[in-house]
């Protein structure tokens, strides 16, 4: 149990997928304009990464390795992730149309979000079991959600500030992301 807690805290805070590993920057920068949209994107990412960690772990352990097809892991993982994102997209379109419309093009981009594939590959690389891999995936997605929601909150506040002309737009967002990365680096001594 202690090992799972270390994996969870390490993946969510210490080795934050966006702010430490620089994976998933496209949706992080693109969807972080409003807290509500960022939280919706974070929820979708939590679902996709957690489920993909489970499915890819099972496929890798019980199909690819026994058949000596482990060299196909990247292709198989991409296919699994694409199928899961299509499932999430259909569910959101039917159950939550406003969130589906707010996420727009960024929802299909979860398929190409390198954080999702990165988690699946990291689970294999670190030789995590199924449960450890799912915990790692869930915690990584929670860390992504924490980062994107914090960024969205900061971006909402920045709108009301007098930002110098040279820093308006993308520049202030990247400076803010850099400062957030520095702040999260402070957690590196925790684990």
The 10s digit of each residue's pLDDT in 45-95 is 898 899 999 999 999 999 999 999 989 999 999 999 988 888 888 888 898
CA triple 146-170-114, angle to 5 deg: 50
pLDDT tens column, 138-171: 999 999 999 999 999 999 998 888 888 888 888 9
Residue corresponding to tokens 């509500």:
36
- What value does the mean pLDDT take over residues 110-122? 86
* Residue 153: exposure state from Cβ atoms within 10 A (0-12, 13-18, ≥19): middle
Question: Rounded to two decimals, what is the model's pTM?
Answer: 0.88
Tokens (6 digits) for 181: 């990365």
Band (31; pLDDT cuts 50, 70, 90): confident
For residue 41, give every residue at least 6 positions away whose Cβ sits within 8 Å of its Cβ, in sequence order, or none: 27, 31, 103, 106, 107, 148
Band (127; pLDDT cuts 50, 70, 90): very high
Q: Which residue has the higher pLDDT, 127 or 32?
A: 127
CB of 81 closer than 8 Å to CB of 143: no
- What value does the mean pLDDT take over residues 14-27? 89
């Amino acid at each position: 149990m202690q090992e799972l807690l270390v994996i969870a805290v390490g993946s969510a805070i210490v080795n934050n997928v966006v702010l430490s590993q620089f994976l998933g920057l496209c949706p992080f920068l693109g969807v972080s304009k409003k807290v509500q949209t960022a939280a919706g994107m974070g929820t979708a990412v939590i679902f996709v990464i957690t489920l993909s960690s489970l499915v890819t772990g099972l496929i890798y352990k019980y199909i690819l390795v026994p058949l000596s097809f482990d060299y196909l892991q990247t292709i198989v993982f991409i296919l699994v992730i694409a199928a899961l994102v299509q499932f999430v997209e259909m569910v959101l379109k039917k159950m939550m149309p406003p969130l589906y419309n707010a996420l727009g093009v960024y929802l299909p981009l979860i398929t190409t979000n390198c954080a999702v594939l990165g988690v699946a590959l990291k689970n294999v690389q670190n030789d995590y079991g199924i449960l450890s891999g799912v915990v790692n995936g869930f915690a990584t997605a929670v860390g992504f959600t924490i980062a994107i929601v914090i960024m969205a909150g900061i971006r909402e506040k920045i709108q009301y500030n007098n930002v110098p002309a040279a820093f308006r737009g993308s520049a202030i967002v990247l400076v803010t992301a850099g400062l957030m990365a520095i702040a999260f680096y402070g957690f590196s001594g925790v684990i």
